[in-house]
């Protein structure tokens, strides 16, 4: 099946509730922000945004979804063979051994009675592989989440207000996989680079997958595009920062209306690339949803095994356990998410 991405995109852009002007990203972003902004929704001191939607009752609901006891990792590897190419100093992890078995064999470690050991260190950007974007990661005209001045939030000492550590105990909820790639491209299970996933695409995928893929307040939605599948087969190419399928800018209203706690994709940048404006723009959906909506965004998740498991049973909901590494003051952090079926 051929996807008429441009045709789908025109229809979505023309019908966008806040008015989409491809030549005016500034105005379009401003109108969209006015329609979806959550500033002060949870009080002037809030630091977690839409994670407020995850309640104790929601976590109990998620725990009840574990029926088979199967655990599926949703993490890519953290090693030198990753997709990073150095953009803005983002590199793949550098893993170094500080103590080795060779040292132990030669008796140079200084331990008594024959004890030996191994130790290691790792140096890496916090967003080099499977990760969450924190609320201090993106600003809008110098403002961070909840209307704070960006310079009052993130300094050379880190995110002093909305650091990722605040999310570390919160990201356990009902997860829902929307395998948009399998839905729209059943022959390949992969969307082409540059395909903009619209609200209509998301809703038709939910309808096709059935009742267990209905989404609502406090859910964490995972959107599979199939780009990671293609990168594994054909090589990384421009996976990190290049053209990619992803969410259309026009899904901002849907993301707000659904009251999602968080959303994650199998791509580098969550939203469609190139972005949908004809004038210069960069990650405009990030600019709307992170500092204004307070939405936690995940990127570079591995959703392939989960997609196969869900397709086998026809059940697309599960308990998702996905706390970020609690790095104090970080604006993003690695995560090893687990889907429990």
Per-residue pLDDT of the chain (341 residues; tens, 9 = 90+): 456 544 445 678 988 999 999 999 999 999 999 999 999 999 999 999 999 999 999 999 999 999 999 999 999 999 999 999 999 999 999 999 999 999 999 999 999 999 999 999 999 999 999 999 999 999 999 999 999 999 999 999 999 999 999 999 999 999 999 999 999 999 999 999 999 999 999 999 999 999 999 999 999 999 999 999 999 999 999 999 999 999 999 999 999 999 999 999 999 999 999 999 999 999 999 999 999 999 999 999 999 999 999 999 999 999 999 999 999 999 999 999 999 99
The residues, any chain, with a CB within 8 Å of residue 19's CB and separated by 6 or more, are 28, 31
- Residue 2's pLDDT is 54
Instruction: Name the nearest CA neighbour of 51 among 199, 202, 263.
Output: 263
Partner residues linked to 158 by β-bridges:
155
Main-chain dihedrals φ then ψ at residue 149, nearest 5 degrees: -70, 135
Task: Give the 3-state secondary structure percentages of the chain, helix then strand then coil, rounded to 5.
Answer: 35, 20, 50
Beta-strand pair 296-299/131-133: antiparallel
Structure tokens at 336: 């090893």
Q: Are 179 and 311 in contact (CB under 8 A)?
A: yes
The secondary structure of residue 323, as a DSSP letter, is P
* Domain limits, CATH 3.50.30.50, in the chain: 5-85+125-340
Count Cβ atoms below 10 Å from residue 232 Cβ, excluding itself: 13
DSSP-H helix ranges across 192-303: 199-209, 227-234, 252-257, 284-288
Q: In Å, what is the CA distance from 71 to each residue of 74, 276, 306, 309, 340? A: 10, 37, 9, 11, 5
pTM: 0.95
Q: Whose structure tokens read 């199967």? A: 70
Partner residues linked to 282 by β-bridges:
none
What is the domain class of 5-85+125-340 according to CATH? Answer: alpha beta
Q: In Å, what is the CA distance from 246 to each residue of 59, 195, 202? A: 28, 7, 11
Number of H helices and E strands in the chain, helices first, is 11, 15
Partner residues linked to 264 by β-bridges:
222, 298
Main-chain dihedrals φ then ψ at residue 335, nearest 5 degrees: -145, 145
Q: In what order do the strands lie in the sheet with 71-73?
A: 71-73, 338-340, 317-321, 172-178, 220-223, 262-265, 296-299, 131-133, 332-334
Structure tokens at 180: 């948009």
- Residue 10's pLDDT is 60
- Residue 242's pLDDT is 97
Distance, in Å, from the CA atom of 206 to the CA atom of 316, rounded to the nearest integer, reads: 9
């Amino acid at each position: 099946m051929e996807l008429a991405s441009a045709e789908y995109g025109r229809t979505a852009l023309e019908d966008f509730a806040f008015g989409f002007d491809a030549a005016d990203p500034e105005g379009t972003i401003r109108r969209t922000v006015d329609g979806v902004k959550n500033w002060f929704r949870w009080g002037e001191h809030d630091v977690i945004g839409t994670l407020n939607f995850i309640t104790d009752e929601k976590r109990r609901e998620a725990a009840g979804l574990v029926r088979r006891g199967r655990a599926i990792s949703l993490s890519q590897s953290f090693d030198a063979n990753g997709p990073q190419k150095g953009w803005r100093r983002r590199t793949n992890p550098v893993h170094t051994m500080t103590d080795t078995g060779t040292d132990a064999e030669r008796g140079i470690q200084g331990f008594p009675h024959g004890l030996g050991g191994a130790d290691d260190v790792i140096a890496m950007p916090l967003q080099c592989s499977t990760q969450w974007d924190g609320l201090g990661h993106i600003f809008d005209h110098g403002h961070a989440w909840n209307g704070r001045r960006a310079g009052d939030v993130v300094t050379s000492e880190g995110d002093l207000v909305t650091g990722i550590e605040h999310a570390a105990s919160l990201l356990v909820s009902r997860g829902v996989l929307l395998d948009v790639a399998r839905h729209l491209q059943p022959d390949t299970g992969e969307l082409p680079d540059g395909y903009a996933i619209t609200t209509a695409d998301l809703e038709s995928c939910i309808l096709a997958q059935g009742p267990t893929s209905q989404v609502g307040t406090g859910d964490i939605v995972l959107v599979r595009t199939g780009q990671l599948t293609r990168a594994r087969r054909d090589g990384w190419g421009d996976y990190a920062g290049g053209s990619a399928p992803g969410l259309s800018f026009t899904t901002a209203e849907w993301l707000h209306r659904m009251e999602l706690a968080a959303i994650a994709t199998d791509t580098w940048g969550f939203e469609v690339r190139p972005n949908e404006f004809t004038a210069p723009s960069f990650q405009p959906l990030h600019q709307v949803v992170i500092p204004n909506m307070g939405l936690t965004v995940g990127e570079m998740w591995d959703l392939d095994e989960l997609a196969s498991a869900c397709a086998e049973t026809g059940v697309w909901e599960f308990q998702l356990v996905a706390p970020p590494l609690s790095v104090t003051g970080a604006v993003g952090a690695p995560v090893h998410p687990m889907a429990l079926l």
